[in-house]
């Protein structure tokens, strides 16, 4: 019920989505300063090489390679984790979402006139 407690126990978040779209858990993991191994299908919170590593859906070998790389390079884990947290705080809070939603409504209202 409280994903933050579980995520804070981790070092890396692996989310090899094949069809997800924009998964809430990727934002939660980033907010907990976890670098992620994920796919493009999981949304846009993770940029390859910055907040985590992007692999092709279904490519188990790529996931293993990414995990091994992060295991061997804890400094990268720390850098990516910090970048992930910063990206979420600066771009993906509920305040950011509300502002974008209100802007979209305002644009729709102007276009309807």
Q: What is the pTM of this model?
A: 0.80
* Nearest CA-CA partner of 17 in 29, 31, 1, 2: 29
Cα 11 to Cα 102: distance, rounded to the nearest angstrom: 36
The boundaries of the domain holding residue 74 are 3-112
Q: How far apart are the first and last CA of the chain?
A: 45
Q: Is the separation of the CB atoms in 30 and 46 below 8 Å?
A: yes
Per-residue pLDDT of the chain (113 residues; tens, 9 = 90+): 787 888 888 899 999 988 877 888 999 999 999 999 999 998 889 999 999 999 999 999 999 999 999 999 999 999 999 999 999 999 888 887 888 889 898 999 999 88
Q: How many domains does the chain have?
A: 1
CATH code of the domain in which 27 resides? 3.40.50.2000
């Amino acid at each position: 019920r409280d994903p933050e407690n579980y995520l804070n126990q981790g070092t890396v978040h692996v989310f090899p989505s094949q069809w997800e779209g924009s998964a809430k858990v990727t934002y939660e993991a980033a907010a907990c300063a976890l670098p992620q191994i994920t796919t493009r299908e999981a949304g846009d919170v993770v940029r390859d090489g910055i907040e985590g590593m992007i692999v092709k859906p279904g490519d188990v070998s790529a996931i293993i390679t990414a995990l091994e790389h992060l295991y061997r390079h804890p400094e990268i884990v720390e850098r990516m984790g910090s970048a992930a947290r910063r990206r979420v705080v600066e771009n993906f809070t509920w305040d950011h979402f509300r502002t974008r939603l209100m802007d979209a409504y305002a644009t729709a209202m102007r276009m309807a006139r």
